[in-house]
Structure 1
Amino acid sequence: MLYLHPYYRPGAQISLNLRSCADDRTERNVQVTVVKAFTPFTMSQVLLVNINLPVPDILPAGSTSFVLKVYDPRFLQHRKGTKSSAPHPWTLAAETTAARRRAFGADTFLPTWWPDESDTAGWEQYYFANLQHLFTTELAAYTRLLPLQGKSIPLCHAQGTLVLPTPATRMVVPRVLLLSYVPGPNLRAVNPARVAPAVGRALVDTVRAFGALGVIHDDLRPDNILLSPTHDEPSRAFVLDFGNAQLRAEHGNEEWEGALAENDEPKLVELMLDKLGIRHRV
């Protein structure tokens, strides 16, 4: 597990500058208290937080618990190293050099290659660009999928930035999303006999609707699907994590239809449910 920074620990106070996902013209400073971190962090850092009163007017009245996703490249799991890449721990010096390169217009594209192992600033740019892409893709996907928010995907309440603790020396201001909290087990943790076929069928229909609304999830797996509200009698499936999504704007119409057919995510979900023993035929 990666080192858990003090501002991600339970009880920590975090300050956010947020704008509504529906209307990004009004920014509010919002204070939250960390309830727990959903570890291990892989890409974004995912936290359950409570909004400190008073709840700002850009959030629903009466709601205090939310999921906060922070897109901070400092805490990527990949930094620990892989079978084909050495560890690349965060340093302020490398982050500063990468930011200075960006200020001069260098390395502003999304890298699709790994930098040289000795290029510490190159790795910082690689991580930074990927986290920025992850954030913008996930926000765009939630916007496309607005008709499904609160029904089969979480509500996207607000987006903005993390206010770093003072004195702030970082050269990166992490982006954040504030989403509705969906309680319940993931698809792998539920008792298949407790899931009604209609719930499984609705999940397949949800994924089919993604394509019609211009989104291919591209990371469908049991960990990214929650069944709510309880282990005993879940009544609804929610799909999470759209950072890897493909969006229709990236393709022409013919190319998009080809991408939908190639991925065939409704069929993928049916096969996943069959493997887990969850009924979906009604």
Structure 2
Amino acid sequence: MLYLHPFYQPGAQLSLNLRSCVDDKTERNVQATVAKAFTPFTMSQVLLVDINPPIPDILSGAKTSFVLKVYDPRFLQHRKGTKSSAPHPWTLKAETTAARRRAFGATTFLPTWWPDDADAAGWEEYYFSNLQQLFTNELAAYTRLLPLQGRTIPHCYAHGTLALPVAAARAVAPRVLLLSYVPGPALRAVHPARIAPPVVGALVDTVRAFGALGVIHDDLRPDNIVLSPTDAVARPFVLDFGNAEVRRPDQSDDEWELTLAENNEPKQVEIMLDSLGVQHLAT
């Protein structure tokens, strides 16, 4: 049976310090109730939460259910170990040591390095830095893709931190994103015959729009594409921008066009649709 920390069990109360993704000048403390955990967790922890009463100056007044993404390094699946890495269970002591090193500028961590297995604090820094980067990538991508929010990607309503209770004191404050909930099955779970040409066309157009707006998704796969609503399969929504590459301010048009051509995400979508048996026009 899958173990869920009490933070993430249905009915758990979470305290969030949030700023609007559109205007982040004012921070608000918001109370959320966990309705469901989307497990298994891999990188971020993804939850369906209820917020009631609504917070009109940050959230849509018409909605009370949202997706909460928590970037807490404590619950990364990688900690359990891989074929090339031993298990690295979380401890407060190692997390605190890593935080102290960061505070004094004593870390030499690079995202491409794996620490020695015996370096518990080094692994905490590795996990912390990776999740901070995922959060930064995702927030930057949603900011760039504002014209697509609510149409073919979720709304990004707010960002901030998880306010942990005193009894669960930590050396880090996990970052969070609050997104709109998009109900519907993943692309992989839908029979190809039910996916109409306009849906396929909308998916390809969306991926092209990413590039035009300065974003490469870099993790396009059937599990990150939801067809909504469940009973009609009317529109594709692309999720999970943690691996996204966002155009740098100093990149010229020619440099960005070369980056887009090297990645060629519309072609990746075509290959993915072929693998699923979905009919499409050549992109």
Shift of 1:108: 7.0
Taking a change above 3 Å as real, the CA distance of residues 105 and 44 of structure 1, as seen in their structure-2 partners, is: same
- Show the counterpart of 2:278: 278
Taking a change above 3 Å as real, the CA distance of residues 229 and 95 of structure 1, as seen in their structure-2 partners, is: same
Cα pair 1:70 1:175 within 8 Å, conserved: yes
**Does residue 98 in structure 1 map to residue 91 in structure 2?**
no
Shift of 1:192: 1.3
- Show the counterpart of 1:37: 37
Q: How many residues end up aligned between the 2 structures?
A: 281
Letter aligned with residue 238 of structure 2: V
Letter aligned with residue 68 of structure 1: L
Gapped runs of 5+ residues in structure 1?
A: none
User: Aligned equivalents of 2:104 and 2:54: distance in 1?
Assistant: 42
Letter aligned with residue 246 of structure 1: E
Alpha-carbon deviations, 1:133-152, whole Å to 9, x = none?
A: 10011000000000100000
Secondary structure at the counterpart of residue 31 of structure 1: strand
- Show the counterpart of 1:82: 82
Gapped runs of 5+ residues in structure 2?
A: none
- Show the counterpart of 2:70: 70
**Does residue 204 in structure 1 map to residue 218 in structure 2?**
no
Alpha-carbon deviations, 1:119-168, whole Å to 9, x = none?
A: 00000000000000100110000000001000000000000000102224
User: Aligned equivalents of 2:65 and 2:49: distance in 1?
Assistant: 6
Letter aligned with residue 16 of structure 2: L
Alpha-carbon deviations, 1:23-71, whole Å to 9, x = none?
A: 0101111111101100000000000011032435311112100000000
Secondary structure at the counterpart of residue 102 of structure 1: helix
- Give the share of equivalent positions with the same residue, in percent: 78
Shift of 1:279: 2.4
- Show the counterpart of 2:125: 125
TM-score, structure 1 as length reference:
0.96
Secondary structure at the counterpart of residue 167 of structure 1: helix
User: Aligned equivalents of 2:215 and 2:54: distance in 1?
Assistant: 36
User: Aligned equivalents of 1:80 and 1:168: distance in 2?
Assistant: 22
User: Aligned equivalents of 2:99 and 2:208: distance in 1?
Assistant: 40
**Does residue 246 in structure 1 map to residue 253 in structure 2?**
no
User: Aligned equivalents of 1:236 and 1:4: distance in 2?
Assistant: 32
After superposition, the CA RMSD in angstroms is 1.6
